[in-house]
Amino acid sequence: MTVSAEFPDVGSLAHNAAVELAGVNIGYVSHIALQGDHARLTLKIPRSTHVPASAYAQVRRAAILGPQVIEIVIPPGAPAEPLLADHADLPQSSNQVRPDLEDLIKTGTDVIGALSASDVARLLQENAAGFGGEGPTLHLVIDNLNTVLSGYASRTATITQLVKDLNSFSSALAPNAQADAEAVANLAKATAILDSQKERLTNLLIALDSVSQQGASILRTQLPQIDDQLLALRQVTQAVANQQQGLASILANLQGHNHSTASATYNGFIQVIIDLIVCGVPGGGEDPNSPANSCHNVPAGGQP
């Protein structure tokens, strides 16, 4: 039978994507169309699945790097009757796109956490100290440069013709007297254009000179801060480099992570249990007889 569902966004879901119920493939997406600002999906599923009318659909990814599928979800305690009818619409308010990278991001927090917050803060602070306060001068340079370029842009055709005539003048001076005369005339026009822009050019050069002088002053007075900035940048990049093994470990364990996530999924939710143990404190939860809960199994470099 045919049923429909609407989503505000279906991500990278493709035509003929699988439709699953309780992790079992029961059908496919036969059509995807845009209706207003929503995506409307047409699903083909067999009547024999006996899907209750209270069921809803969600878009999820079969694995971290796998394709997206449509999952039919039956709410806990939902009545078995009435059944979903042919050409029915799944409840729009319940249709959702389930996040698929949250667990992977949480797995990688240990790697990102290796970056020192003080290093990043120091990098930003030294950058502001080294290059701050020069906004007005830089703005003046950009404004003057924009003005000059705008003036030249309005005379593009004349300058283009000047270049062409100069080329003719240099390649065939004697046989092309008429072209030479035109080139000289166009050169006079170009010179007049440059003369009309001399004030703007002068302002631009003055501003550039001011910036160069202030830049030299910045280098003289802010060199220690710039050195600190580069040192902080090196520390940050080194911290990232030191965690390459951690990133490799995450990628190496993705398959097991996906399998474990699928095994711990119940009604669309991940079941997670976390034991916390404080070593060396009475009542801290240590169990010497349990390898997983013993403080004697702390990894190398770990702190009790």
How many CB atoms sit inside 10 A of residue 245's CB? 10
Other Cβ atoms less than 10 A from the Cβ of 162: the count is: 21
Write the DSSP symbol of residue 85: P
Distance of CA 222 to the CA centre of its chain: 33
Distance CA 86, CA 17 (A): 20
pLDDT at residue 103 in the model? 45
pLDDT digits (tens, 9 = 90+) for 267-284: 778 776 666 777 877 777
Residue 269 gets which letter from DSSP? E
- The pLDDT of residue 2 is 94
pTM > 0.85: no
The pLDDT value recorded for residue 129 is 58
The rounded mean pLDDT for the chain is 77
Return the domain boundaries, the chain: 2-100, 117-244
- The answer to whether the bond into 82 is cis (omega within 30° of 0) is yes
Q: For the residues 154-163, what does the mean pLDDT come to?
A: 78
Helix 156-171 vs helix 135-153: angle between axes, to the nearest 10 degrees? 60
Q: Mind listing the pLDDT tens digit for each residue in 85-119? A: 899 988 865 666 655 554 455 555 555 555 556 66
- Token pair belonging to 139: 């703005």
Report residue 31's pLDDT band, with 50, 70 and 90 as the boundaries: very high
Looking at residue 50, its amino acid is H
Q: How far apart are the first and last CA of the chain?
A: 60
